[in-house]
Structure 1
Amino acid sequence: MSTATDLVTAMLQAWHAGEPEQVIAIAGQAMPSLQQDEGALSLLGVAQQATGRLQQAAATFGQLAQLQPLVSSHWNNLAVVCREAGDLGAAERALLTALSLAPNDAEVHYNLGLLRTQQRQWLPARQSLLDAVQLAPHFIEARLQAAYACHVCGDNTQQEALLIDAGHWPPQPAEQALVLSAMLSVQGDLESALRTLAQASLPAEPAAAIMRLRIAAQRVLLHERNNQVEAAQAALRHLPPATLDALPAQAEQARAEGWRAHAVMAMRDGAYAEAAAQYQRALSGNHNEEGHASAAFGLGAALDRQGRYPEAWEALRHAHATQLEIARHVVPELLAADSRPLQVTGGYLGRDVHAPWNSLTSPGSRQSPVFIVGFPRSGTTLLEQMLDAHPEFQSMDERAYVHDLIESMELVGQRYPGDLSKLTQQDVDQLRGAYQRLVQQVVRALGDRCLVDKNPLNMLCLPMIMRLFPNARIILCLRHPCDVLLSCSMQPFRSPAFMVLCSSLQRLAEGYVNAFEQWHHDVEVFAPNILEWRYESVVEEFDKQAARLGEFLEISDSSALKRFAEHARNKRFISTPSYAQVTEGVHRKAVGRWQHYREQFEPILPVLQPWLDRFGYSA
């Protein structure tokens, strides 16, 4: 007769042989004699989990947790199978118990982060996953999931830090590879994104065939997003429409992603009716909210290009409603009617506070970045590419580094902007050094070129800019406020705060007014060196405005500025929604576009009227 030790040994041998069913069979023969054996129950639990018997696995791990209540791993295992079975309440209780027993166990923090992700509690999920990474820096699964939580929360800086060497990670399961490649693409690392997809570990058939279609769709989007149209068209050939139509019902996400890839390329070809039909097909299934919102925005753009403006507005309304649900789980406080999504912090800085600022040693204008600011969708990307096309300048794409410096002040207990007056020369040098280190992560060989820092919402950070770079040249981009707001309404912004801001024209108009009220207050206090760059003037008299820009920046030969479209076509990545338009050169198509939606704009014109008058625009 076999002893308990012999049975456990047999179970262990079966497990190592990859035979979980045999583990369960042996345990069934031995029970109830092994009901108090910790090793046997542990093997049984993992075998039940591996074979999809989640309820049985939960009962087994629950029995283990009662048998050895001070062993955190039993509670952790119980939590994992409860989460996989959909019993999130039981999973949470088990994980909190495990955490109390092992507060420094990275795996417990990781599983708590996964649970919070499934509960759509994104900020707590982000923190738990970051805690796991801090405890175990080489825990790749934790880093990937933490980066995704940062991605959802709009924390681009932390996301990039977590993925700094992700291009060299081992192959990922296909689902995770899709997530990772999308994030790497957002960071401008197309090569690593494509390699991640190429190395993805596929599931068994027939799921592998479906996953190959999803990977092909992702490749189309990656190439198109990087203005590699021929490569995108080649990838699209791996998504035959007949194959998408023939997919089973459970493959609706693959079908939706495939049709979205077709729609994106139809938009590139100018086949707007075809694109609209394909976006409609992408929207017909139930897939993730981010993909659904993206398809709805795409449908709105396709209908707009056909002149079907009421239908386009309805598609955009649907897109914003979907995005608002995403934001609800990240920034619920911003959904309040009186919230101000664009507020930086600290309020206005008065002349009386600025006047006593001590004079500090600062870089000259040529040693300081050129800051491009303005409300989003005001032509900032076009201007950035003009400067980047000139050999004396180097842009770094859109980064929130000035915002990061403000956060770093507040993390050490300094108030912004009030405590800027208390900064010493050493403090300011340290902040400038931190800014330069961030820049060096993305611009590794700046040399003698002047850095271009294009971030529209740096217009809300003028006090920090003036404290660190008081001699900097700043270019404010202006465009008809209604065209700006319409363009914002048509974009699938990733920032949760901007999702809320753009959820209605009323909220967006109020945000626009608040931003410019702060900007003009700060300009009166600091009197920076500013050039106003008006989009409509650039369209009407491009050569004249290019010469004016060259004069402001003290460029001896401004001819390179005019070759921005060719330069943009040759760039690998442009992060803003204008990545395709900026390759087309200057045209009038976007001027006065809001008039097609005048009925929707009529209620907010009184809100915008003071700024229409101030900027010299008509309603």
Structure 2
Amino acid sequence: MNRKERRAAARGAGSDRGQNRAARAASLAAEGAGLHGQGDLAGAERCYREALKQDPAQAQAAHYLGLLAAQSGRLAEAERLIRKALTQRPRDAEALRNLAKVELAGGKVEAAEGSVRAALAEAPDDGEAAIVLGAVLAAQGRAADAETALRQALELLPGHPEALNHLGGVLLAEGRFGEAAETFQAALSVAPGFGEALINLGETHLAAGEAERAEKLARQALSGGSHPRLLDLLSRALAARGASSEALEAATAAATAAPQDLQLRYNLAVTQQEAGRWPEAEVSYRAVLAQAPDFTAAWANLGALLQKQERLEEAEAALRKALALDPSHREARLNLATGLEQASRLTEAAEEVQRLEELASDHPATRVLAARLDRRAGRIEAAAERLAEVPPADAPAVLREDWLFERGRNLDRLGQYEEAFAAFADANALAVERGAALRGEQDQSRRLIETLQARFTPEWVGGWSPLVAPERAESPIFLVGFPRSGTTLLHHILAGHSQLAVMEEVEALDAARRGLADLPLGFPDCLESLGEAEAEAARRDYWQAVEGAVVRAPGQRLVDKLPLNLMQLGLAQRLWPEAQIIFALRHPCDVCLSAFMQNFDLNDAMANFLTLKDAGSYYDAVMRLHHTYAQTLPLDEMRVRYEDLLEDFEGEVTRLLAFLGLEWEEGVRDFTATAHKRGRINTPSYSQVTEGLYTRARYRWQHYRPQLEPLIEQVGPWATTFGYPAV
């Protein structure tokens, strides 16, 4: 054999070896596909990888190895491998369909649409590709097109559970809860173990306001087992019906069972936030954001949480971060606008509301905030017009309450008193259901009043053990009064004086009470034999609560402004006999009416203002307790009537400063500037105190006299007690 013949023989042998390697690769790919179908993923992967070693162009091995990578969450690797397969078989409908699935999972929605449409061009009757197309269109928010695609898929693949599940998701997103539930149930009748459809059915019940059904579904599915997403569903169902401690337990279990699932960790943070566990919620949100800095909803909720804690600069930064990630995030923008309005940064708030109106001009929350800004700008008729209709029936109850309270305020300003009262009554009627749990056995405020009223007798107080009294300069000044009596106005007047630091609505005195309640005799019985060490421990509890809540310059005295510390004056007198008390007063009918007109954050005390009857009886109980204190204790107290302050501002403030041993300073006059400097004011009076003195709320109750007759009977006698004309 000559040289030329030897070279030809070698080429033939190489070709045979290449053909053998290709055949071996094809065999390995087929073997891997068999193992893959049997669930032996490790064996399948070995076969696919060996096939690609034998033949790097083996399309099926690359394609299916890509599927394995996708199943493990390695989406970038999956996309690379499937694209490699498509370079060999560019018209492979199955590979195109699976590429679309991977792109969709990776958030590449537009690319996924291109891939799945290419798959359908090759195989128009591919029902699975039609399912993927429906999922892609749903992800784009194209609900009608998605529904069409999924119904076509079901014509090709009748009863296909995945198609039914995706269709149910589209119907759920459109608010067609009944149809969605039926569709998810159809998927479950075909595939009873289809966990995704089961969870989606629970989500539908939750969205439809059927928390008990969602809870029952989750509990049945969890019987005998534990699944993180079912635990999460159970948690949210429990939270929806107000079982916050159980909800927190389930959310914690869900996040613990799947620590890598950021959505579950986020849901835990939401549950912690709703349960009032704010420090824990902040930790959870920040843990989520450490792993996913672009998690928009976590930034938005963190901002809302910080806003509630008065950490306004941090809150604004978090909300603006959320909006930088997603300018259309309505809740973040609404919270930012609300915070700006409450901080009286009205121009900026109006700019944010304009952006909200561009997103959804008719959204109830946007309309309420826009009306509030109109009112604060003096555009009362425009404000009233925005809320002239009844609030949308499908809006959350809390939002409908906001709508009605704001509507009532504007009607009151327009002199339409009968209509205004009806709006306030409707708003409070909605809040009654939320407040119900805070009444009855849980009404700690009334029970405390009853206990203190019975205990504070001249004989009991006369038997108190002697204590060394702190000096007046080392004692707080307590600014008290029934809610809506003008304490916020007095706060900002006093905060303008260089020798005073005012602390707003911190339950420091209650912290001292809770410490004393742990003593063997409990509270208030322990006050009789209170020793020096015990009294000093209670004072430490108080000052520890003060620390961080207010900044005091050297020499400044603390003014502790918390209206309903009026009920705690016995404790204040016991711990600080030299303490001075500023007792803010306003006409009893005006006070109770104004409380009825306010959208308070509900607690057991504020729940007493949801009806005028409760407001009147609560006022009577609080004032009777104060009268008892005045009869049994040497209170160093000055009364300041709101109406007198309006009539003779300088005279009344001069008298108040003299009581405190202070000289007049011009800073007390410019209380509106003091209020603006504070930023957000955490009371319902935040908008009024920035206006300056006005008289429209003085004796407002007279406009509502026909509606207030029962209230007048309850609190009328107190009017004469406090120097007002008989009613």
Partner of 2:340: 223
Deviation at 1:237, TM superposition (A): 2.6
Q: Is the 8 A contact 2:268 2:284 kept in 1?
A: no
AA of the residue aligned to 1:149: A
Task: Say which SS state the counterpart of residue 192 (structure 1) adopts.
Answer: helix
Q: For the structure 1 residues 487 and 5, does the alpha-carbon distance in structure 2 shift closer, same or farther, using more than 3 Å as the test? A: same
In structure 2, which of residues 464, 471, 474 is the aligned counterpart of residue 367 of structure 1?
A: 474
Deviation at 1:54, TM superposition (A): 6.8
How far apart, CA to CA, are the structure 2 residues paired with 1:422 and 1:95?
55
Q: For the structure 1 residues 567 and 523, does the alpha-carbon distance in structure 2 shift closer, same or farther, using more than 3 Å as the test? A: same
Q: Per-residue displacement from partner, 1:411-461 (whole Å, max 9, x unpaired)? A: 666522112234432222222222222211222555432112111111111
How far apart, CA to CA, are the structure 1 residues paired with 2:470 and 2:254?
41
Partner of 2:612: 505
Partner of 1:146: 272
Residue 236 in structure 1 maps to residue 353 in structure 2: yes
Partner of 1:84: 203
Q: Per-residue displacement from partner, 1:524-561 (whole Å, max 9, x unpaired)? A: 22222111111111111111111111111111334322
Partner of 2:578: 471
How far apart, CA to CA, are the structure 2 residues paired with 1:423 and 1:130?
42
Q: For the structure 1 residues 90 and 306, does the alpha-carbon distance in structure 2 shift closer, same or farther, using more than 3 Å as the test? A: same
How far apart, CA to CA, are the structure 1 residues paired with 2:357 and 2:222?
45
**Higher RCO (CA < 8 A, seq sep 6+):** 1
Q: For the structure 1 residues 284 and 84, does the alpha-carbon distance in structure 2 shift closer, same or farther, using more than 3 Å as the test? A: closer
AA of the residue aligned to 2:654: A
In structure 1, which of residues 603, 614, 619 is the aligned counterpart of residue 721 of structure 2?
A: 614
Q: Is the 8 A contact 1:397 1:453 kept in 2?
A: yes
Q: For the structure 1 residues 125 and 499, does the alpha-carbon distance in structure 2 shift closer, same or farther, using more than 3 Å as the test? A: farther
Partner of 1:14: 70
How far apart, CA to CA, are the structure 2 residues paired with 1:474 and 1:130?
45
Q: For the structure 1 residues 537 and 397, does the alpha-carbon distance in structure 2 shift closer, same or farther, using more than 3 Å as the test? A: same
Deviation at 1:591, TM superposition (A): 0.9
Deviation at 1:215, TM superposition (A): 3.2
Q: Is the 8 A contact 1:78 1:91 kept in 2?
A: no
Q: Is the 8 A contact 1:213 1:238 kept in 2?
A: no
Partner of 2:242: 120
Task: Say which SS state the counterpart of residue 587 (structure 1) adopts.
Answer: coil
Partner of 2:452: 347
AA of the residue aligned to 2:307: S
Higher alpha-carbon deviation: 303-312 or 6-15? 6-15
How far apart, CA to CA, are the structure 2 residues paired with 1:404 and 1:416?
12
Residue 184 in structure 1 maps to residue 309 in structure 2: no
Higher alpha-carbon deviation: 141-150 or 424-433? 141-150
Q: Is the 8 A contact 2:478 2:559 kept in 1?
A: yes
Q: Per-residue displacement from partner, 1:466-507 (whole Å, max 9, x unpaired)? A: 232222111111100011111111110002434531121111
AA of the residue aligned to 2:271: Q
Q: Is the 8 A contact 1:550 1:558 kept in 2?
A: no
Q: Per-residue displacement from partner, 1:315-364 (whole Å, max 9, x unpaired)? A: 11111011112223x436369xxx78544363332333322322233421
Task: Say which SS state the counterpart of residue 640 (structure 2) adopts.
Answer: strand
AA of the residue aligned to 1:326: R
Higher alpha-carbon deviation: 465-474 or 182-191? 182-191
Q: For the structure 1 residues 434 and 299, does the alpha-carbon distance in structure 2 shift closer, same or farther, using more than 3 Å as the test? A: same
Task: Say which SS state the counterpart of residue 90 (structure 1) adopts.
Answer: helix
Q: Is the 8 A contact 1:334 1:497 kept in 2?
A: no
Task: Say which SS state the counterpart of residue 464 (structure 2) adopts.
Answer: coil
Normalising by structure 2, report the TM-score: 0.68
- How many aligned residue pairs are there? 559
Q: Is the 8 A contact 2:593 2:701 kept in 1?
A: yes
Deviation at 1:281, TM superposition (A): 5.5
Q: Is the 8 A contact 1:474 1:530 kept in 2?
A: yes
How far apart, CA to CA, are the structure 1 residues paired with 2:428 and 2:561?
26
Q: For the structure 1 residues 391 and 201, does the alpha-carbon distance in structure 2 shift closer, same or farther, using more than 3 Å as the test? A: closer
Q: Is the 8 A contact 1:259 1:282 kept in 2?
A: no
Q: For the structure 1 residues 172 and 94, does the alpha-carbon distance in structure 2 shift closer, same or farther, using more than 3 Å as the test? A: farther
Residue 313 in structure 1 maps to residue 435 in structure 2: no
Residue 194 in structure 1 maps to residue 316 in structure 2: yes
Partner of 1:270: 378
Q: How does 1:509-528 map to 2 (within 5 A)?
A: 509-528=616-635
Q: How does 1:101-500 map to 2 (within 5 A)?
A: 113-122=235-244, 124-125=246-247, 141-150=267-276, 159=278, 163=282, 170=289, 174=296, 177-200=299-322, 211-240=328-357, 244-245=360-361, 255-280=363-388, 283-284=391-392, 286-328=394-436, 330-331=437-438, 333=440, 342-344=446-448, 346-348=451-453, 349-350=455-456, 351-410=458-517, 415-498=522-605, 500=607
Deviation at 1:130, TM superposition (A): 8.8
How far apart, CA to CA, are the structure 2 residues paired with 1:516 and 1:280?
38
Task: Say which SS state the counterpart of residue 262 (structure 1) adopts.
Answer: helix
Partner of 1:577: 684
Higher alpha-carbon deviation: 538-547 or 436-445? 436-445
AA of the residue aligned to 1:142: L
Q: Larger radius of gyration, structure 1 or 2?
A: 2
Deviation at 1:263, TM superposition (A): 0.9
Once the two structures are aligned, what percentage of the paired residues are identical?
25
Deviation at 1:310, TM superposition (A): 0.8
Q: Is the 8 A contact 2:513 2:538 kept in 1?
A: no
Task: Say which SS state the counterpart of residue 531 (structure 1) adopts.
Answer: strand
Q: Per-residue displacement from partner, 1:29-79 (whole Å, max 9, x unpaired)? A: xxxxxxxxxxxxxxx99xx89x96976998999869xxxxxxxxx9xx999
- Aligned-residue Cα RMSD (Å) equals 4.0
Q: How does 1:34-49 map to 2 (within 5 A)?
A: none
How far apart, CA to CA, are the structure 2 residues paired with 1:529 and 1:61?
76
How far apart, CA to CA, are the structure 2 residues paired with 1:460 and 1:290?
29
Normalising by structure 1, report the TM-score: 0.79
Q: Mind listing any 5+ residue stretches in structure 1 that lack a counterpart?
A: 26-43, 65-73, 151-157, 246-251
Q: For the structure 1 residues 416 and 140, does the alpha-carbon distance in structure 2 shift closer, same or farther, using more than 3 Å as the test? A: farther
Q: For the structure 1 residues 285 and 604, does the alpha-carbon distance in structure 2 shift closer, same or farther, using more than 3 Å as the test? A: closer
How far apart, CA to CA, are the structure 2 residues paired with 1:113 and 1:449?
48
Residue 600 in structure 1 maps to residue 600 in structure 2: no
AA of the residue aligned to 2:558: L
How far apart, CA to CA, are the structure 2 residues paired with 1:449 and 1:599?
48
How far apart, CA to CA, are the structure 2 residues paired with 1:130 and 1:526?
49
AA of the residue aligned to 2:335: Q
Deviation at 1:227, TM superposition (A): 1.0
Q: For the structure 1 residues 597 and 400, does the alpha-carbon distance in structure 2 shift closer, same or farther, using more than 3 Å as the test? A: same
How far apart, CA to CA, are the structure 2 residues paired with 1:54 and 1:216?
34
AA of the residue aligned to 1:487: S
Partner of 2:139: none
